[in-house]
Structure formats: structure tokens, C-alpha cells
Amino acid sequence: MKDGEHMKDDKRMRLVVVGHGPAAHRLLETLTSRGFDGTVTVFGEEPRPAYDRVALTSYLTGTSVEDLTYPVPDGVTVRTGVRVTSIDRADRVVVTDAGDSEPYDVLVLATGSAPFVPPVPGRDLPGCFVYRTIDDLDAIREAAKDARSGVVIGGGLLGLEAADALRGLGLDTHVIEMSGWLMPRQVDEGGGSVLRGHIEGLGLTIHTGAGVASIEAGPDGRVASLVKPDGEAIAAQVVVFSAGIRPRDELARACGLEVGERGGIVVDEGMRTSDEHIYAIGECALAGGMVYGLVGPCNTQAEVAADRILNGSAAFTGADMSTKLKLLGVEVAQFGAMSGALDVTYMDPVGGVYKRLFVSDDAKTLLGGICVGDAGPYNTLRPFVGKPLPGTPSDLLFAGAGKASVDLPDDAQVCSCNNVTAGTIRVAIADKGLTDVQGVKDCTRAGTTCGSCVPMLKQILVKSGVDVGKALCEHFSYSRAELFDIVNVRGITTFSQLIAEHGTGRGCDICKPVVASILASLGRGHILDGEQAALQDTNDHFLANIQKNGTYSVVPRIPGGEITPEKLIVIGEVARDFGLYTKITGGQRIDLLGARVEQLPAIWRRLVDAGFESGHAYGKALRTVKSCVGSTWCRYGVRDSVGLAIALELRYRGLRSPHKLKAAVSGCARECAEARGKDFGVIATEQGWNLYVGGNGGFTPRHADLLASDLSTDDLVRTIDRFLMFYIRTADRLQRTSAWLESLDGGLDYLREVIMEDSLGICADLDAQMERHVSAYVDEWRATLEDPDKLRRFVSFVNAPGVPDPSISFETERDQIKPVLIPLEVTRR
Amino acid sequence: MTVLDMTATRAGEWIPVCSYTDLLPERGAAVLVGGRQAAIFRTFDGALYALGNLDPFSGAQVMSRGIVGTRNGEPTVASPMHKQVFSLVTGVCLDDPSVALPTYPIRVTDGTVEVSVV
């Protein structure tokens, strides 16, 4: 017992979980969120806690183990690298290979599955792998280093994923599939042939209707070739088996639990096995005669088991096996039945699109559908399976996601990963007054796993009468992105003109700074010029950050965090002479706090004279590009991260954006600059630079996603230019890049299409806009110091310009000033 | 000018504080009158308003630095600290009507702005 002897009288339920994969994780998460007060011990045989297997392949393209790993809920003891070897049902104890035992009141088996390796001669040779765990991927990556070609045995979903991985590792890749076409469980022959066309176009070799006679070793004893039954030999140094899965039911078998004829631990609707103290969930369970290998049903099973453990009565009665995914760049989707009395088929082998709908014999009820090359109809139509068709079949085939105007029935499942229906979402919107997709995600979990239903969530919000946050405020019925376009296209230069022509009233603290930011992003003059001055928030108005006592902080730019001793001394002297509090910021620069408004020009005169310029810490703008010391000094560094960080910071300094922008450059994969927590982060590789986007610290931390790998410096800069400009054009007010990226329909793939493949034809425009920004940049503080009109505003009192605000006072703490706060006297009426 | 006297001004006394053109349209400025701070605003239509400069939510003398605008046609200023919006006309906080800023008479005489702060 984990809490020691004094817990002997503890009557809390002792829950033991065997296996720590995604299903176990969902179980723990559900129990924790519902206030389970027992003790929980989890045994996982892998050397690491549960991680996201759906995203496993991304591990090979740069996603770290940490990113894939799920957080372990508080209060749960996870013992990794420990295998449970037997279950003593009579004494209710599990025994481990570490030689100890753990008593349980309730046991949950979440042992998952093992890849099926057909009994082919040579299957145990070095160079043969399965594709399931991070360790498997590490081994494959290692073997691929000395290999030229590889074969994947199995052309299903996972097999093609493995093939994509081998291709990504630079191998000449073959896929062998027993049945007549690829992905036989998801698509029919027509879809399979279109899919094959796509994949062969990528240079892979497909062998369908083919088996494996043997795997042959070379002189070094490692895999050298694979021989098909027809005698054809395929040279290969890496072989990956992906020919299906088998439930890991050996523990259950050994202790006499009921198992299915073809494997799987038999469970009832409550996920309970033939022993009332033992549950089984996920790929090891046989529920209603089926073993489920998709994340959605396994999550549901975990939630059902959690509910039963908490004395609930939830039931698992089968699951929607619909699938939508993108494999090797091809969209594949299947929903409902794969046959029907009637069908409507569209096939375009040239364009690589195949769509087929199955309907009832009276052509009124939708039974299912298959899409390859364009999964557009999936989102719209999947909820209608078993229901009257919402339009003519041919219209529906071509209705892209979100385009068809259809009302979903309440029981239509919108999010299959988390089993959330349209009705549940509507109730949440109405009861909780939700106004945006994030709110729906938070309340219902819909859209939080694969994200493919996010367009549907938006549609439901709109149809529920929610104006999806489009209107900026009462003065403008446009979104920020629309206002940006209006200002840009119409060449508008003032707020007055914009609100007179496109708004109502006189603006407010929401729309004025937004318009000020748009004008600044488009390079329409100094932010304190003319009318623009009145639009600015107090920070931008005084080019400093307001603090709680009404004083301001000063942050000079220190590009890349690199600074000379002379400049450090100047900062120290200025702080000393003006009595400011100093602190090192997280962005590798120095914050000087406690300056009164009328001191700001004098402080900046000294800083500008010493060669400093505005750090824009006060603006919704680029803040810093942080860096590690890089290859110049660091013995691990592979590239000059400081040089690049400085170049990027100087390029984007002063760029106004919907929210603040932070960036970093790391000189090697050790990532000391924490680039993946930034809006854009760059990590040096042997070949070039990896670019990550959409990271965030702050309130909702998020690791940045890998946008592109091994870029040259020129390509890197161009890609960041476009990323930033596209964000500035299209994001909502105060929407960080992380939330923006998550809200983009099509997500990272879409972003890549727009800024790397120019799918919208706007890249030249984005490039030109950034060029204008770079060439028009001037230091705001220098320009302010040179303009007496602007300087006149820096007074505490218009009727007493030299007088400091008498309400501001300081005391001393740790040898520095600290504000004295005046007790509040709120005038309550 | 006597405005820097820390002695209280007499009730109803008009104190000149600045020239009208010192005030930017749609922006505020702080004035110090008899030891008290007021925030004065010039709106887009040329109208003037004077309120207390103390933000009752943060306790800092900063109301003059808020963004001026309108809510349902009523001229407003938003606290630069936590963005609560106050009516320039009544001083009442529109986000929490139990809180209000004091309001003061303000006028222009021969191009000079005068307030009466007691």
C-alpha cells in the first residue's frame, strides 16, 4: 500500500489497473474528474507512462515523447516498466515481475493488443519489426539508417501509416496486402484503386492480393529480402509487420476469466468480465463479440467502466466505426455501412477522387458512404446514417464540410472520438450560454481529440442562433479579420473614416486598439500620429507598460538576449539614476519598473543615446526572439542560434499583431531556448532549421507544432514571414497563434497549403506586406523623442507638467523600490 | 495660477487648468486641483467632461489614461487597468452600477478650460 502502515484502517477502494495506454489513461482521467476517492495503482510494461498512439508516427517527424505523453492525473501511482505476471482472483492480488504483489478491490485490465505477426519463416530475423510503441519506432529508425528499402506487410490503416513512416525515413518502400485492394476494412475496391493511385504517385510500390512465403537473411544475418509466394523477391533491409492486432488476453486466460474463441476478454455492457471485481477495457476487451481497435470506442469503454466503478449504470452498446483520416496526404473516410440496396458513385481516377453513398432501396435513408481523395461529405453526412437523406444523393456527394445546409438530429453523433451528440452540444450551448468553439470543446469534449468535427461545432453554434463571435463589439458587426481586409483593400487610414463608413457610434476600448493595431500592421504611420494616438491603449499611448500603481515599466530591446557590457552598464546607470526597480524578464531582457509618465522621455533619451530602441513590451507586437548561446560557444550547438535570433528579432521588431508574439531559436535539439513554447520557434538540425508554430506558455500552455523541417535560412525566413502575415490578417482580436491555429479549419495542413504551397494565391501579397514592414520600420521611441508634439503628452498633469503624481509612493524591499498601495475606497452607491 | 496651492478650493470656484487645444479629441488628461486629481476628457464632438481620476477598482489615479468611446450612444471611458467602463456623463460604472466616479463641472472660457473641483 503506497501510503504505508498507518493506512491499514483505510477503507478507501483500492483500484489496480493493468496496462497504461490510451484507454487506461482515459479511465484515470474520468475517475479523477469525477472525484474518485480510492487509491489507484497502475502497472505499465512500457518504460514510460501512457502516450498518444494515434499520433505515434509524428514521433518520427519531430514530435517529442513528452508531447505525446499524457499527464498522469494527481494521486495516481504509475509503475512503469513493471509487468503483471499473474492475477490471484481468490485473494484479489496481482503479482508483478518485480517480485511484489498489489491487492485490489477492483481490477481493470487495459492490456491492449499485440501486433499479429504471421508465422512466416524468417519473421524473427534482425530487421523485422512491428509498429506499435515508441520503442518500436526507435528501433525502426535505427535500422533505417543503414537500409535502402523496406517492406510493410499489411495494407490497412496502420500498415499505410507504417509505410508513410518508412518513406519519411528515406526508404524505398513496398506495401504487401493480402486482399485485392488497400484498406479493405475502410474502402471498397473502387476506393482502394483510387487510393493506390495516390500512393503509387508518391513512389511507393503496392503489391495487392499478395502474401509472404519467407523472409531471407543476408550474409550478415540480417533481413535482406522478402519472397512472395510467386517466387518474386523484394530486396529489403527493414520489414514491418502490420497485419492486424490480437488482444492481449493472456493474463485473463491464465486466471480463468472467460475469453472469446478468437481472443479478447469477454465483458458485459458495463465492461465487467466474468469476475465481478474485474473490468476489461480497450483493445483487450471483447464487447458484444467485437474487439475495438479505434480510439473512440476504447475511450467510451473506459468512461463506461469508470462510471460503473463509481456505481453508475453506463453501458457500452457498440460504437460508430466511422473513420476519417489523412494517410500519405490522401483523405480517406468511411461511415455507416459499406453496402446497400442502392448506391451513388462518383469516380475520378485522374483527379484521384472517389465517393460513394449507400442508400436504402427507397432511396430515402442514408446507410453509409466511402470517400477517398476528398472527405468533404464525411462531416456533413456521417450524422445522418440511418436517417432520412437531407438532400439528393448527388448534391450530398459534392457538399463540402460545412457547406451543406442541414439540421442535425439531436441523436446524431458529431464527435465520434468522444461520443458526443448534436443534442448534447445544443443543450450545452443553451444551458451554459456558450458562444464559441472553445467553449463547446471545454464543456462537452467534442472536437478535442482528432478535431475533424470542429467545422460541425461551428455550424451548430451558428444554427443555435449564436453569432460565433464575429461582431467585434457594438460598433462593428465585422470580425477583426474582416476589418483587416476592409482597411487593407479600401486603403483606409483613419479610425474616423472606418467607423463612419463601416461602423456605428464612436468606438470603445475594444475596437479602437484593434483598428490601431490593423493600421500599424499595414504600416500607416507612427502609432501616436494624429488621430491614431487616441485609439491606443494606455500602454501604446505612453510606449510603456502600466503597473498596478499607475507607474510604467521600460523595456529596451535586447535582440536575441545578446548585450555588450557597455550597454548593460547604461541600463544599470539609468535604473539607478531614476530610482527604478530592475528585473530580468523571461524574454532575456531587462525590465525597469516604477517610472512615472513624466520620467519616460528622459529615461528614453538616455537609452536611445546609448543605442537602445523600443522593446515593444507594451504592444501587441513582436516581443523577443530568445536564444541559447548556440554553436559559437556551446559544445553541443550545431548552428548559430544567436545570430539567427538577432536577425529575426530585427526583422520583425515593431510588427503589430492581434496579440503579442514571442519567438525563440535553439541551436540544437536540446532546445535550451524553449522554442516550442513560442508563437514561432526554430530549432537547428544538422541539415538546416526546423520551424515550429503555435506554441504558447501562459494561461493555456501548448507546445508548438512542427510546420516544416530542415529549411535553409532563406526558406525559413520566408515561411515565418508568411506565417506571421497570414496570422495578422486572419486572427481574431487577442487570439494568440496557438488558439488561431486550433481554430483554423484544416489546421496545420491547411496552414501549410496556404503559406508553403500558396493554395490561396496570396503568398506574393504576404511577402510584399512583410517587405513593407521591414523597410518602413522606425524606432517608435526615437521618433517620439524627435517630435515635441508627442512629447507634450508625457506629463502627469496637464495643468502642472513638472509635478509628479503625489499619490505614487514607494517603500524598500530587498534593496529596491516597491509600490505603496493606497487602501481602496470604492464609492458604492 | 493658483492651481498648485494645496489648500482646498472654494465651492463653486472655477479653476483654469489648460487651454482647450491642449486636449486631444477622444482622449483624457489629468489635472491637479487643490490636492485633488480629476480626469478631463474632450470627446469627438468637442464636448468636455470632468470626473475623478481615481480608478475605484485598482486604487490608482489613472482614469484620465483610459480609452474614450461610446456605449449605446453614451460617451464613456474605460479604466486602463481592468477595462471597467464608466459613463462620462454620470460617472456611473456601466459594468457595475453600484460604483461611480465623482463628476465635476467643466467649461471653456475664452479658450481656457475651467473645472470646479470640490
Q: What is the pLDDT of residues A57-73, one digit of tens each?
A: 888 887 888 889 999 98
What are the pLDDT digits (tens) for B28-41?
999 998 888 999 99
- The dihedral over CA atoms of A231, A233, A234, A235, expressed in degrees to the nearest 10, equals 170
The identity of residue A565, as a single letter, is P
Would you place residue B11 in the very low, low, confident or very high pLDDT band (cuts 50, 70, 90)?
Answer: low
Q: For residues A774 and A662, state if they share a domain.
A: yes
**Å between B57 CA and nearest CA of chain A:** 7
Asked if A673 and A707 sit in the same domain, the reply is yes
More confident residue, A822 or A739: A739
Predicted pLDDT of residue A2: 43
Residue A122 domain-assigned? no
B-chain CB neighbours of A823 within 8 Å are 59
C-alpha cell at position A770? 512583410
Q: How many residues does chain B have?
A: 118
Measured between beta carbons, which residues in chain A are less than 8 angstroms from residue B1? 799
Residue A783: inside a domain: no
Mean pLDDT over A791-796 rounds to 90
How high is the pLDDT of residue A364?
83
Instruction: Provide the pLDDT for residue A542.
Output: 95
Nearest-angstrom CA–CA distance, A320 and A382: 10
* Residue A729 located in a structural domain: yes
What mean pLDDT value characterizes chain B? 88
Nearest CA in chain A to B96: A828
CA atoms within 13 A of residue A466's CA, in its CB half-sphere? 24
Residue A766's domain is classified under what CATH number?
3.30.413.10
Decide if B93 touches A, using CB distance below 8 A. no
User: Which cell numbers in the block locate residue B57?
Assistant: 477598482
Q: Do B26 and A805 touch (CB under 8 A)?
A: no
Q: Is A216 within a domain?
A: yes
Are residues A163 and A80 located together in one domain of the fold? no
In the Cβ-directed half-sphere of A524, how many Cα atoms lie within 13 Å? 20
In the predicted model, what is the mean pLDDT of residues A166-170?
Answer: 91
Burial (CB count within 10 angstroms: exposed 0-12, middle 13-18, buried 19+), residue A815: exposed
Between A409 and A317, the higher pLDDT residue: A317
Integer Cα distance of A64 and A666 in angstroms: 15
Dihedral of alpha carbons A258, A260, A266, A269, sign: negative
**B6 touches A at CB < 8 Å:** no
Same domain, A692 and A749: yes
- pLDDT, residue A592, reads 97
Q: Are residues A225 and A336 in the same domain?
A: no
Region A288-314: what's the mean pLDDT?
92
Q: Residue A438 is part of a domain; what is its CATH number?
A: 1.10.10.1100
User: Across the interface, which of B24, B76, B101 has its CB nearest the CB of A508?
Assistant: B76
Domain boundary among the residues A404, A424, A458 is at A404
- Is the pLDDT higher at A685 or at B7? A685
Residue B10 scores a pLDDT above 70: no
pLDDT for the residue A318: 84
Chain A CB contacts of B29 under 8 Å are: 797-798
Which residue do the cell numbers 505477426 mark? A117
Q: Which region among A301-315, A337-351, A774-788, A806-820 has the lowest average model confidence (pLDDT)?
A: A337-351
Q: What is the per-residue pLDDT for A331? A: 87
In percent, how much of chain A has pLDDT > 90? 62
Given a contact cutoff of 8 angstroms between Cβ atoms, the answer to whether A520 and A616 are in contact is: no
Contacts of B98 in chain A (CB under 8 A): 828-829
The reply to whether A646 and A730 lie within a common domain is: yes
CA angle A624, A625, A629 (to 5 degrees): 130
Residue A733 contacts residue A514 (beta carbons within 8 Å) = yes
Interface ipTM: 0.90
pLDDT at A468: 60
Residues A413, A353 share a domain: no
Whole-number Å distance between alpha carbons of A558 and A587: 9
pLDDT at residue number A7: 43
In 10 A of CB B78, how many CB atoms? 24
Pairing mode, strands A420-421 and A545-546: unpaired
Domain termination residue (choose one: A404, A424, A457)? A404
Region B84-92 average pLDDT: 95
A625 DSSP β-pair partners: A663
What pLDDT was estimated at residue A451?
Answer: 64
Which is it for strands B27-33 and B36-42: parallel, antiparallel or unpaired?
antiparallel
Please count the other Cβ atoms lying within 10 Å of the Cβ belonging to residue A229: 10
pLDDT at position A223 over 70: yes
Q: Which residue has the higher pLDDT, A523 or A787?
A: A787
The range of the structural domain enclosing residue A365 comes to: 320-404
Would A535 be classed as within a structural domain? no
CATH code of A365's domain = 3.30.390.30
A213 and A279 part of one domain? no
Evaluate if residue B18 carries a pLDDT over 60: yes
Same domain, A239 and A358: no
Instruction: Give the long-range contacts of residues A398-406, CB within 8 A, separation 24 or more.
Output: A398/A346, A400/A376, A401/A375, A401/A376, A401/A377, A401/A455, A401/A456, A401/A745, A402/A455, A402/A456, A402/A458, A402/A459, A402/A745, A403/A376, A404/A380, A406/A380
Same domain, A692 and A760: yes
The conformation of residue A11, written as its DSSP 8-state character, comes to: -
DSSP A231: S
Which of A488-497, A619-628, A636-645 has the lowest average pLDDT? A488-497
Reply yes or no on whether the pLDDT at A18 is more than 80: yes
Mean pLDDT of A701-717: 94
Contact A345, A358 (CB under 8 A): no
Q: Evaluate if residue B105 carries a pLDDT over 80.
A: yes
How far is the C-alpha of A303 from the C-alpha of A316, rounded, in Å?
9
B74-85: average pLDDT: 93
Q: How many CA atoms lie within 13 A of A280 on its CB side?
A: 30
Instruction: Give the number of beta-carbon pairs within 8 Å between A and B.
Output: 128
Reply yes or no on whether the pLDDT at A573 is more than 90: yes
> A92 in a domain, yes or no?
yes
CATH of the domain at A579: 3.30.70
Q: Is A802 on the interface with B (CB under 8 A)?
A: no
pLDDT for A484-509, tens place per residue? 988 988 888 899 999 988 888 889 99
Domain count, chain A: 6
Mean pLDDT of chain A: 89
Interface of B with A in 36-75 (CB under 8 A): 37, 40, 43-44, 54, 56-62, 65-73, 75
CA A588 to CA A419: how far, in whole Å?
Answer: 45
Give pLDDT, residue A822. Answer: 67
Distance from CA of A496 to the nearest CA of B (A): 10
Q: Going from the N-terminus, what domains does chain B have, and what CATH number goes with each?
A: 15-113 (2.102.10.10)
Q: Are A509 and B99 inside 8 Å of each other by CB?
A: no
Q: Decide if A668 is inside a domain.
A: yes
Q: Are residues A633 and A770 in the same domain?
A: yes
> Which of A406, A372, A415, A371 lies closest to A387 in space, CA to CA?
A406
Instruction: Report the alpha-carbon distance of residue A145 to residue A158 in Å, rounded.
Output: 22
- Cβ pair A826:B70 closer than 8 A: no
Same-domain pairing of A400 and A380: yes
The per-residue pLDDT for range A342-358, each reduced to its tens digit, is 888 888 888 888 989 88
Note the pLDDT of residue A315.
92
Q: Of A256, A278, A309, which closes a domain?
A: A309
What does the pLDDT average to over A417-441? 83
Does position A240 have pLDDT exceeding 80, yes or no?
yes
Identify the band that residue B9 occupies on the pLDDT scale cut at 50, 70 and 90.
low
pLDDT at A5: 41
The pLDDT score that the predictor gives to residue A6 is 43
**Local confidence band at A8 (pLDDT 50, 70, 90 cut-offs):** very low
Identify the weakest region by mean pLDDT among A24-38, A665-679, B9-23, B83-97. B9-23
A485 located within any domain: no
Q: Calculate how close chain A gets to B55, using CA atoms only, in Å.
A: 9
Tell me the mean pLDDT in the region A221-238. Answer: 93
By Cβ distance, the residue of A508, A533, A827 closest to B70 is A508
A263: pLDDT confidence band, cut at 50, 70 and 90?
very high
| Residue B11 touches partner A, C-beta closer than 8 Å | no
pLDDT of residue A399: 55
pTM for the model stands at 0.58
Residues 6+ apart with CB under 8 A from A680: A661, A663, A691, A692, A693, A695, A704, A720, A723, A724, A737
Give the residue from A473, A497, A509 with the most B CB atoms within 10 Å of its CB, the best one to mutate.
A509
pLDDT digits (tens, 9 = 90+) for A22-61: 999 999 999 998 889 999 999 999 999 999 988 888 888 8
- Where is pLDDT greater, at A479 or A711? A711
Nearest to A382 by CA among A325, A340, A337: A337
pLDDT band per the 50, 70, 90 thresholds, residue A421: confident
Which whole number is the average pLDDT over A477-488? 88
Q: How far is A822 from chain B (nearest CA, A)?
A: 7
